[in-house]
Chains A and B, each alone.
Chain A
Amino acid sequence: MFYREVGQYKSSYPADQAIFPLSNDRIGVMIILLIAFIWPPLSGSQYLMGPILTQLLVFGLAALGLNLLTGYAGQVSLGTGGFMAVGAFGCYNLVLRLPEIPIVIDFILAGLMAAAVGVLFGIPSLRIKGFYLAVATLASQFFLLWIFDHVGWFTNYDPAGVASAPTQTFFGALTGEGRALEFLAPIDVIVSGPNATPETKYVLTLAVVVVLALLAKNLVRGMTGRAWMAIRDFDIAAEIIGIRPLRTKLLAFAISSFYCGVAGALYVFTYVGNADTEAFDLIRSFTILFMIIIGGLGSVMGSFLGAAFIVLLPPFLNIVASNLGEGTLSGAALANLELIVYGGTIVFFLAVEPLGFARMWQIVKEKLRQWPFPY
C-alpha cells in the first residue's frame, strides 16, 4: 500500500539504471535529505547536531569506506583507525601549512593521502586472506599511530601531541583582502575552529557525506563494484573471467582508505575540533567493523544504519539507565549493566539477523508493499 512499485514502467536504459529506479525511493531519499538539511539547524540543539548527528555522519562515512572494502571486495580490515588518522593529521597539516586551499579540497587531498597509505598496507592482501588478513591489517593500525605519536611535525610539535583544528573558512585564505578570491568573501563562512557555528559544521559534514555516499552508490553498481564482488565471492573464479586481483584489491583498499581518510578529517575539523592518536585507536577500528556488520555488509545504507546503532546505543543506554536507576542501583552497577546490554544487543542482532539492518529494511519494504493486505 505504502510502497507500491506497480505501474512504474521503464522505457529507457538510463531510467532503468538510475541510482534509485523506483520513484518511491527517489522521493523518500529526497524527503529524508531535505529534513536532514533543514530540521537540525532549525532546532538549534547543539547536542543533536554535534555528538549525535555529526558523529553519526562521520562514523557512517568511515563505515561506508570499510564496507566498500569488506562488504563489497571481501577484504576484512582492522586498520580503519589508522587510515582515519592519516586523513585527520594530513588534513590538519594541509590547513595549517597551506591555508589558501579551500577546505573541501583539503578533505579530498587528505583522502588521497589516506588512499596512498591504504594501497601500501593493502599489498599483503594479495597473499593473505580472511582472518589472517584482518590481523595483518592491525599492523597498519599500530604502526601509523606510532608514527603520528613520534614524529612531532604531524601535530605541529604540540607538547601533548594534540592536533587542534585551526580556524578555516570555506574557500580558504584566498578570500582575504587583496587575494585572488576576494569577491567570494561575503559568502564565505568559517567552517572549523572555535568560531564556527555548529550549524555550519553540521551542514558541511552532511553535504560531504551525501556526495560521497552517492558516489559510492554509483561505484558499487558499476564495473568496479562488480569486479569487487566477483573477487569477494570467489577470487580464483574472478581471476579466470579476467578480473585482475592485484588491481581490483588495491583499488578497493585505495577507495576505502579515501573514505576513511575524509572521515578522519571531518572528525577533526567538523566534529570534535581536535584529535590526538587516541581518537583513532584500535577500539575505533573495531567499532567501525561492528557498524558494518550490524548495519549490513555490502550495503551503503546499512553502513549508516549500523553507525547510528553503535553511536546512539551507549548514550541511549546511559540516559535510560540514569533515569531508571536513580536511587536503586549504584553508578558502578549501571555502568556495567550498560556494558552488558551493549554487548548483549550486538550478539542478539547478530544471532537474529546476521545480514544486518540492511536486510531488515528489505524485509520491511516487502511487507510494506503488501500491507495491509498480505495476500
Chain B
Amino acid sequence: MKKIKTIVLSLVAMVVTVVPFSVSQAQDMEQFIPALVYRTGPYAAGGSGFFGGFEDYMALLNLRDGGINGVKLVWEECETAYNSDRGVECYERLKNQGEHGATVVHPLSTGITYRLIERATADKIPLISMGYGRTDATNGKVFPWVFPLITNYWSQNTAKIKYIGMQEGGMDALKGKKIANLHHESSYGKETVPVLDVQAAKYGFEVKHYPVAHPGLDQKAAWLDIARRYKPDWVILRGWGVMNPTALKEAARVGFAADKIVGVWWSGAEEDVIPAGKAAVGYVAAGFHPSGSGFPVVEAMLDIVHGAGQGNISPQRVGTIYYNRGLVAGIVTTEAIRTAQGKFGTKVLSGEEMRWGLENLSISAERIDELGAAGLMAPLTITCADHEGGGPVKFSRWDGSQWVEVTDWIETDKSIVDPMIMDSSMAYAAEKGIEPRSGMSMGSDCG
C-alpha cells in the first residue's frame, strides 16, 4: 500500500507540475518587471541586497506616488540561486507575464546575462546589466537590447588604473610598476583581462593575472606568490562572494598591505569586508554609488515602505552597498519608464517602448536632486549607440566600520575603452551575422 500511495503522490505531483504553466491574467495598468533574484547559495548577500533595494524603491513609488503616473509597478521573484540554467528558466517563465510581457530584465549575474543576450534580443525585451555583464554590449548598434548601464567593467577598470595613477603621482609614474589582477575564474572574473593588458601596454606597467576557482577559498598559493615573488605595487581584486574576505585575510596573513588592494564594485560591499575583520581596514573599492542611509530617498524608503511593514529586506541592511545598488537600478529603470511614458503616453509599456525610453534616458543632476538621491549617483545620458552612459566611478575606503569616500567622481577613460568595445562588438556582429544599426560613430544617435 505504501508504494501505491507513493506512486499516486508522485503522479499527482507530476500533474500539478503542468498546471502552473498557464499564465495568470494581468490586471490593467500594471507594469510588470521580473526579479531574477538569488536569496540562497554562496552569493545570496548580493542577490538579496540588490533586489531588496530595487523592490523597496518600486514599493516606494507605488505607496507614495501610486506608481508612475498612475501605472503601478508589479514584480514577481524567481529564485535563480545564481545558477545560469535556472536563470534561463526564470526568464522564459516570466517574460510573457504582464500585459505586454516583461518590461525589462535585470539578470544580476554576468553568467545569466550571457545566456539571455540572444533570447532577449529575439523577444525584444531590454536586458539591463548595470555594472556587470558583457562589456562590448555597450555598443547599442550591435546589441540593441542590452544595456550595461552607468559603467561597464572595462570603463570601471580604466577608472581604477586612474585611481592608482593618482596615488602614485600621475599616470607617468605607472611606468615600471607591477599590478597583480586576482580574479574569479568565471565569465565575470575574466572580463577585464584584455583591457588590463591593453592598459599595461599603454602606460608601461606590468600586469599578472591570478585566477581563483569558484567559490574562491583557495588563495593561499596565489597570495604567497604575489607577496613573496611577484611583489606587485598594487593588487586589483576582482572577487565575488566569499572570495573577497578570503583574499583580504590571506593578504594580511602574508603581510600585504590592504591599502594597496583595489577592489571592483562586486568586491566592495559591507558583506565582503566585515568577515575579514581588521584585515580589511584600509582596503579601497570602486563603486558607481556610495553606501549610506542618509540620502532623502533612502530615508523615505525606510519611512514609508519599511514603516508600512512592506520592506523587502531586513531594515539593518537598508543603506548598504548592495541595497543602494538596487536602489540606483530602481531609479534608472523607473526613470526610463517615465521617459518612455512621455513619448508613448501613460500606459503599460511594451519592451520596444521601454527600449526607446532607455535609449533616450537622461537623468540630470537636478532630476537626481528631485529624486532625493543627490550624491548617490552621477548624471547619466544614454543614447542609442552608447548603452553605458559613461558614468564616473567613486572610490571608498573601508575604515573598519563603514565605507568612507576617498575620491570624487573619477571619469573613465573612453579613449581606451571605446575602440576596444568597437573591435569586440564588431567581431561579434561578424561572427553572428548581425547588421549594426545605421548611424555614425559611437556616441552619436543612430536614428
Residues in A lying within 8 Å of B, measured CB to CB? 45-48, 50-52, 55, 146, 149-150, 159-162, 164, 166-167, 193-194, 272-274, 276, 278-279, 281, 283, 308, 312, 314-316, 318-320, 322-323, 330-332, 334-336, 338-339, 349, 352-353, 357, 360, 363-364, 367
Q: With the chains together, A88 CA to B133 CA distance in Å?
A: 22
Known: A278-B84, A314-B86, A353-B3. 19 other contacts (CB 8 A): A46-B92, A51-B89, A162-B187, A164-B431, A272-B88, A273-B115, A276-B114, A278-B111, A278-B186, A278-B187, A316-B17, A319-B20, A319-B93, A331-B37, A332-B40, A332-B48, A336-B40, A349-B6, A352-B3
A335 contacts B79, C-beta separation under 8 Å: yes
Contact residues in A for B114 (Cβ distance below 8 Å): 160, 162, 164, 274, 276
Residues in B lying within 8 Å of A, measured CB to CB? 2-4, 6-7, 10, 13-14, 16-17, 20-21, 37-40, 48, 51, 76-79, 81, 83-86, 88-90, 92-93, 96, 110-111, 114-115, 118-119, 121-122, 134-135, 185-188, 190-191, 193-194, 211, 213-214, 312, 424, 431-433
Q: With the chains together, A210 CA to B35 CA distance in Å?
A: 36
Chain A, residue nearest B48 (CB) = A332
21 A-B pairs in the complex with CB atoms less than 8 angstroms apart: A52-B21, A146-B213, A159-B424, A160-B190, A161-B186, A162-B114, A164-B114, A164-B432, A194-B121, A273-B118, A274-B118, A278-B84, A278-B186, A278-B214, A314-B89, A318-B90, A322-B76, A332-B40, A335-B40, A335-B79, A338-B79
The interface centre, meaning the residue of A272, A338, A349, A367 with most chain B CB atoms within 10 A of its CB, is: A272
Contact residues in B for A331 (Cβ distance below 8 Å): 37, 39, 48, 51, 77, 79, 312
Chain A's nearest CB lies how many Å from the CB of B345? Answer: 29
A357 contacts B10, C-beta separation under 8 Å: yes
Contact residues in A for B6 (Cβ distance below 8 Å): 349, 352-353, 360
A273 contacts B431, C-beta separation under 8 Å: no
Contact residues in B for A51 (Cβ distance below 8 Å): 85, 88-89, 92-93
The interface centre, meaning the residue of B2, B7, B38, B78 with most chain A CB atoms within 10 A of its CB, is: B7
Q: With the chains together, A334 CA to B38 CA distance in Å?
A: 11
B20 contacts A320, C-beta separation under 8 Å: yes
Contact residues in B for A315 (Cβ distance below 8 Å): 86, 89, 93
Q: With the chains together, A159 CA to B424 CA distance in Å?
A: 9
Q: With the chains together, A35 CA to B191 CA distance in Å?
A: 44
Contact residues in B for A48 (Cβ distance below 8 Å): 21
Contact residues in A for B213 (Cβ distance below 8 Å): 146
**Residue of B10, B20, B190 touching A360 (CB-CB under 8 A):** B10
B211 contacts A149, C-beta separation under 8 Å: yes
B3 contacts A363, C-beta separation under 8 Å: yes
Contact residues in A for B93 (Cβ distance below 8 Å): 47, 51, 315, 319
Q: With the chains together, A336 CA to B118 CA distance in Å?
A: 31
Q: With the chains together, A357 CA to B6 CA distance in Å?
A: 10
A194 contacts B20, C-beta separation under 8 Å: no
Contact residues in A for B86 (Cβ distance below 8 Å): 314-315
3 closest Cβ pairs, A-B complex: A160-B187, A51-B89, A319-B20
**Residue of A50, A166, A278, A283 touching B432 (CB-CB under 8 A):** A166
Chain B's nearest CB lies how many Å from the CB of A82? Answer: 14
Contact residues in A for B89 (Cβ distance below 8 Å): 51, 55, 314-315
**Residue of B78, B85, B193, B433 touching A322 (CB-CB under 8 A):** B78
**Residue of B2, B20, B79 touching A323 (CB-CB under 8 A):** B20
Chain A, residue nearest B122 (CB) = A194
Chain B's nearest CB lies how many Å from the CB of A166? Answer: 7
Q: With the chains together, A276 CA to B214 CA distance in Å?
A: 13
Q: With the chains together, A272 CA to B88 CA distance in Å?
A: 8
Q: With the chains together, A283 CA to B83 CA distance in Å?
A: 10
Chain B's nearest CB lies how many Å from the CB of A266? Answer: 14
Chain B's nearest CB lies how many Å from the CB of A205? Answer: 15
Q: With the chains together, A316 CA to B121 CA distance in Å?
A: 27
Chain A's nearest CB lies how many Å from the CB of B181? Answer: 13
A339 contacts B40, C-beta separation under 8 Å: yes
Contact residues in B for A193 (Cβ distance below 8 Å): 118, 432
A318 contacts B78, C-beta separation under 8 Å: yes
A194 contacts B79, C-beta separation under 8 Å: no
Q: With the chains together, A357 CA to B134 CA distance in Å?
A: 42
**Residue of A160, A319, A353 touching B134 (CB-CB under 8 A):** A160
Contact residues in B for A274 (Cβ distance below 8 Å): 114-115, 118
Contact residues in A for B90 (Cβ distance below 8 Å): 318
Chain A's nearest CB lies how many Å from the CB of B35? Answer: 8
Chain B, residue nearest A331 (CB) = B77
Contact residues in B for A273 (Cβ distance below 8 Å): 115, 118-119
Q: With the chains together, A51 CA to B78 CA distance in Å?
A: 14
Q: With the chains together, A323 CA to B424 CA distance in Å?
A: 43
Known contacts: A45-B21, A47-B93, A160-B110. The answer to whether A316 contacts B88 by CB under 8 A is no
Known contacts: A51-B92, A149-B185, A322-B78. The answer to whether A360 contacts B115 by CB under 8 A is no
Chain B's nearest CB lies how many Å from the CB of A136? Answer: 19
Contact residues in A for B83 (Cβ distance below 8 Å): 283
**Residue of A47, A50, A276, A364 touching B7 (CB-CB under 8 A):** A364
B4 contacts A367, C-beta separation under 8 Å: yes
Chain A's nearest CB lies how many Å from the CB of B377? Answer: 25
Chain B's nearest CB lies how many Å from the CB of A206? Answer: 18
Q: With the chains together, A320 CA to B16 CA distance in Å?
A: 9
Chain A's nearest CB lies how many Å from the CB of B198? Answer: 11
B190 contacts A159, C-beta separation under 8 Å: yes
**Residue of B48, B111, B214, B432 touching A194 (CB-CB under 8 A):** B432
Chain B, residue nearest A279 (CB) = B84
Chain A, residue nearest B185 (CB) = A149
Q: With the chains together, A227 CA to B110 CA distance in Å?
A: 46
Contact residues in A for B81 (Cβ distance below 8 Å): 335
Q: With the chains together, A263 CA to B318 CA distance in Å?
A: 44
Chain A, residue nearest B2 (CB) = A352
Q: With the chains together, A161 CA to B190 CA distance in Å?
A: 7
B78 contacts A159, C-beta separation under 8 Å: no
Q: With the chains together, A146 CA to B212 CA distance in Å?
A: 11
A47 contacts B40, C-beta separation under 8 Å: no
Chain A's nearest CB lies how many Å from the CB of B418? Answer: 16
Chain A's nearest CB lies how many Å from the CB of B106? Answer: 15
Known contacts: A51-B88, A278-B84, A318-B79. The answer to whether A160 contacts B191 by CB under 8 A is yes
Known contacts: A274-B115, A316-B20, A360-B7. The answer to whether A322 contacts B77 by CB under 8 A is yes
